[in-house]
Amino acid sequence: MPDLPDPPPGCLAVLVRLSADTAAEVFAPAHGEAPAFRLAQQLSDGLLEYLTANYATGPLDVAVLGYRTSEAGAPELLSLLPDGDPRPRFVPLSQVAQMPAVPRAADDQPKKWTVTPPPAGEPCAAAALARVYQMVAVWLTGRFAARPPVVVHCTGPDGLDEPYFRAARSLNLLATACGPVRLLHHLFAPADPDPAVRERLSETSAELPANPDADRPARRALFVNDWDLLDQYDALFAFAPRGDEPPRGPGAIARHRAMWAQKMGNTPEQWEDAHATDAANGAAAIADGASSGIYCRTWADQLCRAFLSDRPDTRDPAILNKWVNGLRTEWRAAINYATLNWSKQAKVDQVGAAATLLGLEIGATRATGTRDWRACAVGDASLFHIRGGTLLATFPVTADDQFGSAPLLVRSSPGLLTTALAAEGTCAAGDRFVLATDAVAARLFKSIAQGAEPDWDRFETIEEDDWRTELDGLRRANDMVNDDCTLVVLVVAGTAPATVPDLDAPPGAPEPPAEPPPAGADLTLDAQPEPPPADDPPAATEGGTEPTDPRV
């Protein structure tokens, strides 16, 4: 666990619904009668007035964002800060304090720190929150020692559907040394929301800590037609570092399976992903080698194996980079650098290897019957948490449009820093985790966005050759990017010690590398071909390309 700076950095995102329905009149007892978007603007202005007056020199980044759909029906996310730049982004509070706010109209009113475009279009809360998730995730990468980021969502009860709550649950997974992201909901509506919607909002809203000085108990951050800046204050400034233990759960994985497929047109030996599972101790890792490098398959495999054997605390940048530096030395030995010809040595020196990395650790059963889990990610290999056949949350990506051609990578070249994003949550017996490299993950997200959630059970039963045939069909139809694919399925065990069947090596799969697992580690290393060290990998775009359709 990294030490916290004093004060630790923080970020605040205020999200304001600007769809046409927010122009309707509503009643807010403490703040008068006004359209919902005007009430949200009052809340935003008052919060920025307080922060700029008292904390402008502190390490706090701020975004105030409005969302609506465009005339074409596409979701729009706009900055409402008064500097004239509509791009959604975080801005240091010290810079916000210098922006041209409109002077206060009365002594009891704040300056107008925000601009408000005319409300228009339809609500698009799920898409807006998914984009805020992406912004917060980028901000948090390498900043586990930050205070919990705060997201204040000013909205109405309509249009908060399952995709929205899935994005909210995913946001709540993003972790810091002082706790997860804090999501506050401010609803503006002429009447109390439907009890079912209110319950779901309460479940996904942060629990604000008690404030004894103000006689405030701990409470859920869900407020209807009202607000108090003390709630935002507690969300931003009431925090403390937490101690924790590595989540090692003997027998935590009841069963597991992995499938992989090389890029269409390549041989199995040219597959450059990797995966490994330590079922006995409740951990798994998956990596996606960047094809523009050299010996990326060896690097990806090394990352997965070492993550399971070493279990590094990737949340601490110093520990993470020390661990990666050690692997760089081992990688050069594994590729027999001294025996390579001059052109290969030059490529190793100038380009090296690179890969994304996703690691998952599941802990022991608690008294509640649940287990803690935590995950780390460098890049866009993705985790899907499923319960009862329904997708609960994802990490570190929440939507199909969040995949690009240049994800963060763990690189073999010395002197390059590695930064990771952390997540944590709880799981129950029978929950399923699916880990997927970017091509497969993008395909799954597109299917989910189209309203056809995958049959998650199927990934445990489908023949691997049939799965590969389906992938090739999608690739030929340009319905999926042609890239290496890897998918790992883990099912969480109950309290009794689990017998762990090895479903990872279907008949005809290539033999795993001959190198034994590290001493003392009960590793199930899924069948993976080892490319001959003398061969150069095929040329391709580093990190994959923009996906088109991740249907199942």
- In Å, how far from its chain's centre is CA 526? 25
Query: 256-292 burial, b if ≥16 CB within 10 A, otherwise e?
Result: bbbbbbbbbebeeebbbbbbbbbbbbbbbbbbbbbbb
Q: Is the pLDDT of residue 516 over 70?
A: no
Which candidate, 426, 427, 417, 438, places its Cα nearest to that of 175? 426
Model pLDDT, residue 168: 98
Cβ(483)–Cβ(442) below 8 Å: no
pLDDT tens across 499-511, in order? 444 444 333 333 3
What's the rounded mean pLDDT across residues 226-244? 90
Distance between CA atoms of residues 251 and 254, nearest Å: 7
Q: What pLDDT was estimated at residue 462?
A: 95
Express each pLDDT in 520-547 by its tens digit: 333 333 434 444 333 333 333 333 332 3
Handedness of CA 335, 339, 340, 346 (dihedral sign): positive
Q: Do residues 311 and 276 touch, judged by C-beta distance below 8 A?
A: no
Reported as a single tens digit per residue, the pLDDT across 140-192 is 999 999 999 999 999 988 889 999 999 999 999 999 999 999 999 999 887 77
> How is the chain split into domains, by residue range?
10-237, 253-492
At 103-116, the pLDDT tens digits run 877 777 788 999 98
71-90: b (≥16 Cβ within 10 Å) or e? eeeebbbbbbbbeeebebeb
Q: If you ran DSSP here, which 8-state letter would residue 262 be given? A: P
How is residue 311 annotated by DSSP? -
Q: Above 50 in pLDDT, residue 549?
A: no
Please tell me the pTM assigned to this model.
0.89
Q: What is the CA radius of gyration of the chain?
A: 24
pLDDT at 328 over 60: yes
Quote the pLDDT of residue 50: 93
pLDDT of residue 25: 65
174 contacts: CB under 8 Å, gap ≥ 6: 133, 136, 137, 140, 149, 180, 181, 395, 421, 422, 423
Banded model confidence at residue 28, pLDDT cuts 50, 70, 90: low
Q: What whole-number distance in Å separates Cα of residue 39 and Cα of residue 387?
A: 38
Assess whether pLDDT exceeds 70 at residue 400.
yes
Pairing mode, strands 182-187 and 222-224:
parallel
Q: What is the pLDDT of residue 507?
A: 32
DSSP strand E in 390-436: where? 390-395, 410-411, 421-427, 432-436
Q: Of all residues in the chain, what percent carry a pLDDT higher than 70?
A: 88
Q: pLDDT confidence of 468, banded at 50, 70, 90?
A: very high
Q: What is the pLDDT of residues 54-80, one digit of tens each?
A: 998 889 999 999 999 998 989 999 999
CATH number of 253-492: 3.60.40.10
Per the CB < 8 A criterion, the answer to whether 290 and 378 are in contact is: no
DSSP 3: P
We find that the CATH architecture of domain 10-237 is 3-Layer(aba) Sandwich (3.40)
